[in-house]
Structure 1
Amino acid sequence: LDKLNIKHDFIQVEDNTRINVKLKSSKETEINCKGPTVSKEAIDNFLDKISNIKKEDFVILSGSVPAGLGTDFYTTIMEILNKNKINFTLDSSGEAFKKSLEYKPFLVKPNKDEISEFAKKKLESKDEIINFVRKNLLEKAHHVIVSMGGEGALYIAKDYVLFASALKGNLVNSVGAGDSVVAGFVDSMLKGSSVEEAFRFAVACGTATAFSEDIGKLKFIEELKNKLIIERM
């Protein structure tokens, strides 16, 4: 991170960071190991840092919570962020995703499976997903993107929908593709882009990562961005 000139401010814990293994063959398989045990001192230090985040900053909460912190840990963080009027997005699933909606996140980005899990029924078609999101999510989040893998992605608003068709290419790596969508949308919106431009850039970021061995590079993202077809529905 130092070499890449990326600022960081970690809380050190005693246990090792977990190792996740991705097996790539005809089907991608993952083996996710158990996370570290986190001490009360480390938790308190972390929440102190959260409390000192400034109003003009932006927070992305992503992934599963380490074992031992309890299912309410994200809720504790979101309560602090709400109190300090700080914009955040949560990229997680299950109970954490459900609870985040009480705090009006800036962005939620469930995939097709996650939105079906939240709905407690299989949502197959674009119309089913759009109708469910409009009835259940739009009043609870500022922006909603639903990623559908090889079927494309949807940005759903009250009076319009943006649909990005999936670009053809070789799926190399699905790890980090969703994170890239979140990062691309937030970055673009913070720079003052329109929703459509931010959505286009976000989808290009996710696609570039999916088509790359590692995180998609900016040059490749820009190439894909110019090829994307965004349909306004």
Structure 2
Amino acid sequence: MTKRLIIFILIFCLMLEMSLFPKNISALNLNSEEKIIYLTFDDGPSDPITNKVLDILKENDVKATFFLIGNQIKGLEDVVTRINNDGHSIGLHTYTHKFNKIYSNNANFIMEMKKCQNEIKKVTNTTPTILRFPGGSRKHLSINLLQTLHDKNLKIYDWNMETLDGINPKLSPYKILKAATNNKENLSTVILLLHCDYMHKNTCVALPNIIKYYKDHGYVFKPITNDTPELYFPIKK
């Protein structure tokens, strides 16, 4: 095999790989000069934890993003209204959060997101277009599903830092704080995964110190909006 042919093959493989991965994975500038953190809370609304989170955010003058489960909204409409009125972003996190149902096929996944969207619209008169896959998009997102979501004006937001409070709600506040601030890659843009279901009392305990850490390190807190560049895990070939 000639040297020229080897170079050609390497270039072809590189171009093929780039075409198979979503371009938007790099759209979020993770090493820009401006330091930004997006606090994101999954699995709400709940009582009283979501309200406690909202209290802490208000005390610290911080905006965040809440990815809500549609079938948990009934009876907690006041919590959803408060999230919206306090200036936070609301995103879609499916209607049931039942993995075997939402990931059975793409049609069910879309239906779950649309049902969640409708429940939020009933309460806030807004139509969220940002979403998060339960458990993250890894192993679930395909090129076809990505295109379908984009055709419906829906955008995906995974995370680049997490606290593991979703896996273990009883994780100590110290360990939650340590995970939330373990920015080994020195990311200038952080999308931090947290949870606000009824089990996450320790997340509330850790949250003020998480906020203090990022403020002390010069980060600006922002809510995710439809203008925020997407961040999703690489799509498998």
TM-score range, shorter chain: 0.3 to 0.5
More relative contact order, 1 or 2 (CA 8 Å, 6+ apart): 2
Larger radius of gyration: 2
